[in-house]
Structure 1
Amino acid sequence: MIVRVIDDWWGRPVTGLLNRLYLNHFHDTSLIAESRDGELAGFVIGFMSPSRPDEAYIHFTGVAPHMRRSGLARSLYEQFFAMAREEGRTTVKAVTSPHNNRSIRFHKAMGFDCSEPMIGYDGPEQDRVVFARAL
């Protein structure tokens, strides 16, 4: 369901960022929102870090273009924060491209601290901004 729409939602190919591994292994800690007519409205793919017991991580988030600015992303994040707290996590982290201004604004509005662009974070020419939010 998700991979059918995300390229359209982003306006560019991004399905490679969300391979099946995340959906197979982290579905218990990921969230899906549907519209009244049963269509996908938004999602958060996240997990509790198995290596860092204080951290949870949001890997991929999407909201249908017609649902943006409706509060849906905020609601999904708040639900994820609640799950993370229940699991004893004290920090939620995420990353984005330094060019993704919409994501940077959203995460700052949600109370995340935002790093300066980290050159080569995900490999050559794969710079990232790192977000962290205390719970």
Structure 2
Amino acid sequence: MTAAQADLPTDLQAQFLEMPVGLRLDSPAVADGAAIWRIARDSKVLDLNSSYSYLLWCRDFAATSVVARDAGGEAVGFITGYIRPERPDTLMVWQVAVDHDQRGRGLAGALLDGLTSKVAAGRALSTIETTIAPSNTASERLFLSYARRHGASVERRVLFDAGLFPDDGHEPEVLYRIGPLGS
């Protein structure tokens, strides 16, 4: 067991969608930063941040993030998130990505259920938030499915209009607010 695994509740497996065969849920470690950066880059849909930012994320936000590991211990999917400072009962999901060869197995849903179970084990958690670009139908399906599984409603509104982004061609980011969370 790694130090990162030690902070996961022992009964977590029973609290979320079943992990695909051969994969396990874990907390990220700094050593996962490069793999997480690569998975984000290869997704071709996420805004790619600097490799340095993923190293920092794995160090500073491991408690509110998860990775999926294959049998060899390599990261094959991840979700990064953080608790909103002004809303301590709200988990903001920042990025979700799964290696191409792991897609279509329900891994993203299992990671999302695992992450929210992990975070809720240590605090009152009533809401998750995320932003989704209008063209990202896979993320929309993921989060709407999550809301249905947890008996939660979904509110949507544009959080950041396209004109706020300094790079050309960036779509608006629509805020999905999911809650209150049930089972």
**Shorter-chain TM-score: which interval?**
0.7 to 0.9
1:27 to partner: Cα distance = 1.3
Percent of pairs identical after alignment? 22
TM-score normalised per structure 1: 0.82
- TM-score norm. by structure 2 comes to 0.63
Specify the structure having the higher radius of gyration (Cα). 2
- Secondary structure in structure 1 of the residue aligned to 2:128: strand
Change (3 A) 1:122 1:108: farther
Which aligned segments of 4 or more residues in structure 1 are displaced greater than 4 angstroms? 116-119
Distance in 1, Cα, partners of 2:45 & 2:105: 23
Q: Distance in 1 between matches of 2:45 and 2:143?
A: 21
Matched length: 134
State the alpha-carbon separation in 2 of the partners of residues 102 and 17 from structure 1. Answer: 24
Q: Please state if 1:98 is matched with 2:134.
A: yes
2:172 to 117, 127, 132: 127
Q: Offset of 1:84 from its aligned partner?
A: 3.2
| 1:28/1:84 CA distance change after superposition, 3 Å | closer
Amino acid in structure 2 at the alignment position of 1:7? R
Question: Which deviates further from its counterpart, 18-27 or 86-95?
Answer: 18-27
Tell me how large the CA RMSD over aligned residues is.
2.5
Q: 1:54 to 1:28 in 2, by over 3 A?
A: closer
1:90 deviates by 0.5
Contact 1:108–1:114 (8 Å) recurs in 2: no
In 1, Cα distance between the equivalents of 2:154 and 2:46? 28
Secondary structure in 1 matching 2:87: coil
- Which range is displaced more, 52-61 or 114-123? 114-123
Structure 2 spans left out of the alignment, 5+ residues: 1-34, 148-152
Deviation at 1:119, TM superposition (A): 5.8
* Uncovered stretches (5+) of structure 1, i.e. residues with no partner: none
1:29–1:47 Cα contact (<8 Å) kept: yes
- CA apart distance, 1:64: 0.9
Residue matched to 2:72: 37
Matched, 1:7 2:48: no
How far apart in 2 are the matches of 1:12 and 1:108? 18
AA aligned opposite 1:82: S
Instruction: Tell me if structure 2 keeps the 8 A contact 1:113–1:132.
Output: yes
| Structure 2 counterpart of 1:70 | 105
Matched position secondary structure for 2:76: strand
Cα 1:70–1:45 change in 2 (3 A) is same
